[in-house]
Chain A
């Protein structure tokens, strides 16, 4: 069965520091992978997606993610974090042929000035 693991429940970084949020997936075929961000009291917003091709994908708000098949990972990165990036981040994998997404448990990002 498909699954997504986000090992870090909570991460704290200083504003201006670099960021990497980890995501590992379990899926038998080539996965479709997504990162979503959820600000307090808001729904989920799509940051970026990977379907195929170039393994480094660019998203909105200066985020990027790299698909590594050998490590079953799809880690999210940002070179310099802004205070407004404080939010909950969810990794998701597209499952089967039913347009269904399986979400990880999320990583809460806290940014200190």
Chain B
């Protein structure tokens, strides 16, 4: 079974530029998550999708971050314009999303390391 795919793996941009990250979850997983992991910290949830609807985006800086999950499969996270403090690893994860406790079991992609200069 293929895991969660993310691209690109690395990205370097200048501040005020825009960037987009792509994620393809495990086949059949209804729930998709985007996390931000700043160096030395644990992952912080940015946004959670259930199929193509948003469940939680309370931690998403909506003035510069946006995300979509068209057709309830893959997803794109965009930052525009980027700031220096956005330098982090952006992790995508997916889970079954059945409402059963096993839905808490999340599977992570390798992440995209973003450096903003």
The reply to whether A99 and B48 form a contact with Cβ atoms under 8 Å apart is yes
Tell which of B14-22, B63-71, B95-103 binds the partner. Answer: B95-103
Closest to B43 in A: A103
Q: Are B42 and A46 touching (Cβ within 8 A)?
A: no
By a CB distance below 8 angstroms, the chain A residues around B101 are: 32, 51, 94
Known contacts A42-B110, A43-B4, A43-B91: A99-B43 contact under CB 8 Å: no
Q: Does B25 contact A (CB under 8 A)?
A: no
Contact B110 A43 (CB under 8 A): yes
- The SS class assigned to the B binding surface is mixed
Number of A-B contacts (CB under 8 A): 61
Q: Which residues of A contact B113 (CB under 8 A)?
A: 41
Check A32–B104 contact: CB distance below 8 A.
Answer: yes
* CB pair B45 A100 closer than 8 Å: yes
Q: Given the known A-B contacts A44-B108, A46-B105, are A100 and B41 also in contact in the complex, defined by CB atoms under 8 Å?
A: no
Q: Is A105 within 8 A of B48, CB to CB?
A: no
Q: When the two chains form their complex, are residues B104 and A101 in contact, meaning their CB atoms are under 8 A apart? A: yes
Known A42-B110, A43-B4, A94-B104; contact A101-B41, beta-carbon cutoff 8 A: no
- Inter-chain contact B48/A98, CB cutoff 8 Å: yes
B66-100: contact bitstring with A at CB < 8 Å (1 yes, 0 no)?
00000000000000000000000001010101010
Chain B positions within 8 Å of A43 at CB level: 4, 91, 93, 108-111
Are B105 and A105 in contact (CB-based, < 8 A)? no
Distance, CA A9 to CA B48, complexed state (A): 28
* Cβ-defined contact, B42 with A103, below 8 A: yes
Question: Could you give 10 example pairs across A and B, Cβ below 8 Å?
Answer: A32-B101, A34-B105, A43-B108, A43-B109, A44-B91, A94-B101, A99-B55, A100-B48, A101-B45, A106-B40
Closest 4 CB pairs of A and B: A103-B42, A43-B108, A94-B104, A44-B108
